[in-house]
Amino acid sequence: MNSFKALLSVKVAVLHYASRVHKNDRKIEHLQTGSALIQQQGKREIDYVTLYECIPP
């Protein structure tokens, strides 16, 4: 029974880590699209508000 519990907790930890990594990937993706948008608009300085709006919570 203990080995089953240990296996379950490992599975939960892996799932939790995977969701965190996925969330970070999404943020990086959004940051890249945000900076691409800014470059297209011809702005030389980075508009942090625009970047922030591109990042999902």
pTM above 0.85, yes or no: no
Per-residue pLDDT reduced to its tens digit, 11-40 = 767 666 666 766 666 776 766 676 666 666
Whether 47 has a pLDDT exceeding 60, the answer reads: no
Whether the CB-CB separation of 53 and 33 falls below 8 Å is answered with no
Residue entry with tokens 């490992």: 10
Phi–psi pair at 42, nearest 5 degrees: 80, 15
The larger pLDDT score, comparing residue 42 to residue 35, is at 35
Q: Please count the other Cβ atoms lying within 10 Å of the Cβ belonging to residue 34.
A: 19
Predicted local confidence at residue 5, as pLDDT: 73
Find the DSSP H helices in the chain.
Answer: 2-40, 48-54
